[in-house]
Amino acid sequence: LMLVKQKKEMSLTSLKAVIPTAPSLVKPLSDAGFIKIIQRQVFRDPLGDPVEPDTPPVLTPEQTAVVKQVQNVSDNGFSAFLLTGITGSGKTEVYMRLVLDVIEKGKKAIVLVPEIALISQTERRFRARFGERIAVIHSSLSKGELLDQWRKIALGKVDIVIGARSAVFAPFENIGIIVADEEHDTSYKQETGLRYNARDLAVVRGKLNQCPVLLGSATPSLQSYQNVVLKRFEELKLESRINRNPLPEITLVDLKKYKDGRPDQRIITPELSKAIRQCLDKGDQALIFLNRRGFATFPVCRDCGKALTCRFCDITMTLHKGHNEYRCHLCGYGRPVDTACPECKSKKIRPLGFGTEKVESMLKERFPDARIARMDQDSTSKKGAVIKILKTIRNRTVDIVVGTQMLAKGHDFPSITLVGVICADLSLSLPDFRAGERTFQLLAQVAGRAGRGETPGKVIMQTYNPDHFIIEASRKQDFLEFFQNEAPFRKALMYPPFSRMTQLKIFGSNAGKVKEYAETVAKILRDLLENEGTFRGGVQILGPAEAPIQKISSQFRWQILVKSPSSSLVNRLVKSTLAHPEVKPKSDVGLSVDVDPYFLM
């Protein structure tokens, strides 16, 4: 009674947390007239721990200029901006000032963030500034939490929506600004069901709602930067780090010089090992980056030499020691760690290759005094795991964090002064025309996690290709140098952003029927292109060809690419093909269409 009297009003859940027997006491006390029970509708709260209100910092001259440029057009309807600049230059503070401006005018704001790991950091900063009138939308919420967030938006109980790609559909009417942070991130593309790119939809919604749209990235996509070149977007720049801190010093380590050394030296080189030791001795934190999870990524039979592959997919399996199994990273199929070779039944499976789990194990052996955490898809599969790991980094209860691309984007960890890149070349040679772009973005972003506090940062980047222009541009963190080298290749081969592309994916469980149907679709495409004069004008058809990953989840995969400088030509040609009687839907072979595809594997 004293507790309720002191608080004036308490929820039964809060009371039970203090007095476990409260539920059995409430009704008798109510019947006696000592307390009153009120039923009230409440919303489930998916937000993180309480945060202390912050004091807005003084903007730098660059930040002030950017804010004013957007504010000058905010009342005049739609405009699209691309905010570029180096990592750590204060883009989030720009977003918050612009959001404050529209809220003071009685309008709403949508802030898109590509990944759940980043949403936690973003919503903390916004809550510290704007309080609790914020909704958060992402796939890790329960159905009930998600429903409550959408209802709060629809009922006008929030001013700001922060979320992943689906937040672009937030049911706001009076929108004052839409922000898409890390606009280059491929997570904005919805790959299943209704396919869309939330970044592109943000621009479309800005036009519909007549409000400015701000896309931000230190490593913008070539698509967005080409829109700047074509004057469709206006470029805004932040070219200095906050507090004038320098960019981290990046040292390239040529892995070829360790080709005859011990295997562990090709994973953690002496240069990286020394840098980690120095970092730990200073009491700082280190981030070790490898965009490949698991312990061993290429298990091979020592008797017959065959790789251990997934039964349902066209890839090798990965050893996960933590789960004591080999696992397929595409369909999730697992085999016990003592499995026999499917070819010769030998039990002598040798795990080759390495992933984040193995790197974590090696670091624990080399630095037994260090507190080490791992952040990848395996270690963050449980609800709340991402926030828990990020909290240990912020609170400095971990010295070394090993992670994949989840750690590479947008995070602000002031105590991380060293970034080690285990192998910078992993994605460089993938059979995808965007492989170089993604490699540059990933390397420049992860390098930007170092030295964001008072202490200058350092990056050790291990590579087999130190002279490659992608690696060199990453070392300099120079987007313009990358763009000037990459753009001519794209233009010569008529790849985006110098064309519009549509991907036709053909799939099914019967390899022969999938191939036959793919050839039929390609023939009709070419016949229409040849016979209909309205389709001529630079249309190219590539394929049919087996997808680089030929089988996923027992589905054989073929693809056809249609590209042209004119999006209307591509769209009309594909629509005419789909309407052809020989391309009618089949029960045993599927056909899906992806406009502006991001994944060609």
Spatial strand order of the sheet with 249-254 comes to 249-254, 458-463, 416-421, 285-289, 400-403, 372-375
pLDDT at residue 109 in the model: 97
* Strand 134-137 versus strand 160-163 pairing type: parallel
Band of residue 521 on the pLDDT scale cut at 50, 70, 90 = very high
Q: Does residue 8 have a pLDDT over 80?
A: no
Instruction: List, in sequence order, every residue forming a beta bridge with 147; answer none if it has no partner.
Output: none
Q: What is the pLDDT of residues 451-491, one digit of tens each?
A: 888 889 999 999 999 999 999 999 999 999 999 999 999 99
pLDDT at residue 185 in the model: 94
Q: What is the pLDDT of residues 203-225, one digit of tens each?
A: 999 999 999 999 999 999 999 99
pLDDT at residue 182 in the model: 95
100 and 234 co-located in one domain: yes
φ, ψ of residue 269 to 5 degrees: the values are: -70, 160
Tell me the CA end-to-end span of the chain in Å, nearest whole number: 64
Report the amino acid identity of residue 494: M
In a domain, 20, yes or no: yes
In a domain, 345, yes or no: no
249 and 220 co-located in one domain: no
449 and 521 co-located in one domain: no
Map residue 463 onto helix, strand or coil.
strand
**pLDDT, greater one: 360 or 40:** 360
**Mean pLDDT across 517-523:** 97
Structurally, the chain folds into a number of domains equal to 4
Q: What is the DSSP letter of 98?
A: H
Query: Is-contact 328 552, C-beta < 8 A?
Result: no
In a domain, 48, yes or no: no
The tokens of 153 are what? Answer: 């938006």
- Domain-terminating residue out of 489, 521, 541: 489
Q: Which of 225-234, 522-531, 535-544 comes out lowest in average pLDDT? A: 535-544
Run of H or E including 551? strand 540-552
Q: Which of 106-115, 134-143, 184-193, 296-305 comes out lowest in average pLDDT? A: 134-143
Rounded to whole angstroms, the Cα distance separating 502 from 404 reads 30
**Nearest CA to 286 among 268, 298, 303?**
268
Q: How far is CA 470 from CA 427, 473, 495, 551, 563, in A?
A: 11, 5, 18, 30, 25
pLDDT at residue 43 in the model: 52
pTM for this one? 0.88
264 and 134 co-located in one domain: no
The tokens of 194 are what? Answer: 């209704």
Band of residue 25 on the pLDDT scale cut at 50, 70, 90 = confident
CATH number for position 538: 3.30.70.600
Q: What is the DSSP letter of 40?
A: -
249 and 231 co-located in one domain: no
pLDDT at residue 36 in the model: 77
In a domain, 307, yes or no: no
Q: Does residue 3 have a pLDDT over 70?
A: no
CATH number for position 281: 3.40.50.300
In a domain, 273, yes or no: yes
Rounded to whole angstroms, the Cα distance separating 433 from 503 reads 14
Residue 210, Ramachandran bin (φ over 0: left; ψ between -120 and 50: alpha; else beta): left
**Mean pLDDT across 542-548:** 95
**pLDDT, greater one: 494 or 55:** 494
Rounded to whole angstroms, the Cα distance separating 436 from 442 reads 10
What lies within 8 Å, CB to CB, of 584 at 6+ separation is: none
The tokens of 262 are what? Answer: 């011990």
In a domain, 27, yes or no: yes
pLDDT at residue 23 in the model: 74
> Contacts from 191-199 at CB under 8 Å and sequence distance 24+?
191/594, 191/598, 191/599, 195/594, 195/595, 196/165, 197/596, 197/598, 198/112, 198/164, 198/165, 198/166, 198/167, 198/168, 199/112, 199/224
385 and 440 co-located in one domain: yes
Residue 356 CB neighbours (<10 A): 25
- Domain-terminating residue out of 464, 489, 514: 489
226 and 266 co-located in one domain: no
260 and 237 co-located in one domain: no
pLDDT at residue 530 in the model: 85
pLDDT at residue 41 in the model: 55
pLDDT at residue 40 in the model: 58
Q: Is the dihedral of CA 538, 539, 544, 548 positive or negative?
A: positive
Q: What is the pLDDT of residues 65-117, one digit of tens each?
A: 999 999 998 878 899 999 998 888 899 999 999 999 999 999 999 999 998 87
**Nearest CA to 236 among 186, 183, 195, 197?**
183
Band of residue 540 on the pLDDT scale cut at 50, 70, 90 = very high
The number of helices, as runs of H, and strands, as runs of E, in the chain is: 17, 24
What residue numbers bound the domain in which 284 lies? 245-295+354-489
Query: Is-contact 555 507, C-beta < 8 A?
Result: yes
212 and 286 co-located in one domain: no
179 and 227 co-located in one domain: yes
In a domain, 185, yes or no: yes
Q: What is the pLDDT of residues 162-175, one digit of tens each?
A: 999 999 999 998 99
Query: Is-contact 409 182, C-beta < 8 A?
Result: yes
**pLDDT, greater one: 383 or 446:** 446
404 and 504 co-located in one domain: no
Q: What is the mean pLDDT of the chain?
A: 90
